Structure 1
């Protein structure tokens, strides 16, 4: 009987010791091995890329303003021409004759005016003496007024003849690159002949593209300054080969309405092009970016997890304890993802071993390069 009681006491004691150890183990689980790194703060310019097209600031069709035979062309096709450079000459002889005739008519009208002025002056002296009647004096006055009108008409005809003669020399309205000619020497040209050639300016050029309404608000492009520069962004043109164009652009146009079909708004930038590397019609990538860099917190993308509460990361808190931090994310960049709120540069985020930990468990750190 005594042996039975003693055995029961020993079993009970062992059972209680075992329960105590199990309870202690459940309260302090073993530390999990994880990889962590310090949160980075980097200088970042927010940017966004769009597909754009290069357009000429000036693009014009060269046409004839008068009818005549083409006497000659004075440019090399496909080359740069300067403003007011002579491009075409139309045979001027008939227009020179018209100008000479207009000058003669003007001289005759002025002579008639002088005679009418003298007759009017005599009549004005004779009328008080009764040497002429009032009717005759009125006739002299009307002749004077008619002579003045004839002079104005002759001067207008002379100016018209001068303008027509000037049109026999077709000059470049601005500096740019000229296309091939569609006419040859000896062709009869007229305003109905169509385009003789085209001329486009190449420095500077425009780049046109479209952005969404949300992106317009995010980049702060609510207004374009009068001098043609957006308040907060600059324009970087990227060529088809991936090379960045050496000259930055400035926004100079913001559309006045949202396109209902695409939900986008039209934008345009002006870009210096002194070496003529950009050509009208060329497709480019237009990168809009903030003018001034800002310091942002960045973590590796693999450190971010998502559940029903949203995005979160696990950090190593004091005492090497894993702690959950809910975060608000920004854009993803090359070095990771921007964290707008929830972390600071003093925090250390766990990047590997996340599947083995939860909030509040102890962790052990190892190097990211450890095998």
Structure 2
């Protein structure tokens, strides 16, 4: 009997406790307090970074075109040189002699031509009078033609000798930085001697990288016309150095490949970038940041509002009636204003940024704006 009374008492106590919970929720004591913020709309410039490499617009091996002893070097190794600046001098005396000989041969050929011309003109006068035979006339005409040909040949020999003489002075074909010299004064140089030194241009430079086919279409590179701009002027190029500093000059596309690489599924793309301070050097690794010139609206939320579980990234919203709602999202890039939400949110949504540890999907919350919470 006593056991039955004890059981009845316990049941009554539990019933009273259970009936007390709704009263507490209605009074607001158990409703989680949260802070929310409306999403922010910013003007966003889409961009993406790629690993690239710097290369020179011009990269030349300097070689000898004639055979001779190296007389003088006119540059300091590693210095900047201007287009047309003298680099090497090959001993010119033998080539000067060849020029003099060719000039003499030309003078002799012109003298022979003058004599042959005179004889031919006399023959033209005597032939109608019957003073000379037709055979003699033909001989003098042939001599005149031969003398003319000899003058042309002598002129060609003189021109060749002068070209060879000019090759004794080796000049820079363009402006740039020169490397170390592979030869010394007194060395016998010839066309088979190989590279004497190398010269690379430094301003501007090329930045070469690879785009996937999808990225090529997204960035507007498919409209590239080969004139240094896309037809819609859609993209600009920025370079990030190894120390994460941004190169101070913006580049532009100047080449897009004509086929997709079957092994990598990418296409070769190149940009021309000003380099007046010579910050960039050929062979240097850089990050190439391609960004759209035109901005577009983007939804941004504070990073602390984003949560992640096994289902993916999500945020908690405050909806009508102060009801918390889970919303799955796709994240974009981090900006100074917050993280961009690619999909999942609308411009009128309000996201919970504080008190998230007590919030569950579908429960009622007591919401405040940041100012009200203070």
Q: Same fold (TM over 0.5)?
A: yes
**Does the 8 Å contact 1:33/1:363 carry over to 2?**
yes
Q: In the TM superposition, what is the alpha-carbon distance from 1:330 to its structure 2 partner?
A: 5.7
Superposed, 1:267-286 pairs within 5 Å as: 267-286=269-288
- Report the count of equivalent residues: 348
Whole-angstrom distance in 1 between the partners of 2:132 and 2:225: 74
Asked if the contact 1:41/1:298 (under 8 Å) is kept, the reply is yes
Alignment of 1:1-371 (within 5 A): 31-230=31-230, 231-300=233-302, 302-303=305-306, 313-323=315-325, 329=330, 331-334=332-335, 335-340=337-342, 343-351=345-353, 352-353=355-356, 356-359=359-362, 361-366=363-368
8 Å contact from structure 1 (residues 123, 132) kept in 2: yes
Instruction: Report deviation, 1:238.
Output: 0.9
**Could you say what the CA RMSD is over the residues aligned between the two structures, in angstroms?**
2.9
What stretches of structure 1 of length at least 5 have no aligned partner? 1-14
SS of residue in 2 equivalent to 1:331: strand
CA contact (8 A) 2:257 2:269 kept: yes
Deviations 1:198-254 (A, max 9, x none): 111111111111122222122121122343024311111111111111111111111
Deviation at 1:103, TM superposition (A): 0.6
The answer as to whether partners of 1:303 and 1:350 remain within 8 angstroms in 2 is no
Q: Counterparts of 1:258 and 1:179 in 2: how far apart (Å)?
A: 35
Is the partner of 2:96 in helix, strand or coil? helix
Q: Residue 9 of structure 2 aligns with which residue? A: none
Using the TM superposition, give the Cα deviation of residue 96 of structure 1 relative to its aligned residue in structure 2, in angstroms: 0.5
Shift, 1:102, TM fit = 0.5
CA contact under 8 A between 2:32 and 2:359: conserved in structure 1? yes
Partners of 1:31 and 1:355 in 2: CA distance = 9
Measure the CA separation in 1 of the matches of 2:307 and 2:126: 111
Structure 1 position 311, deviation (Å): 7.2
TM-score (norm 2): 0.84
Q: Describe the SS at the equivalent of 1:241.
A: coil
What is the alpha-carbon distance in structure 2 between the residues aligned to residue 292 and residue 49 of structure 1? 17
CA 305–355 in structure 1, closer or farther in 2 if over 3 Å, else same: farther
Structure 1 Cα separation of the partners of residues 106 and 89 of structure 2:
27
Cα distance in 2, alignment partners of residues 248 and 263 from structure 1: 27
TM-score, normalised on structure 1? Answer: 0.85
Checking the alignment, whether the CA contact within 8 Å between 2:127 and 2:133 is kept in structure 1 is yes
The 3 A distance-change label for structure 1 pair 313 and 330 is closer
State the 1:305 CA deviation.
Answer: 6.6
Give 1:256 deviation, angstroms. Answer: 1.0
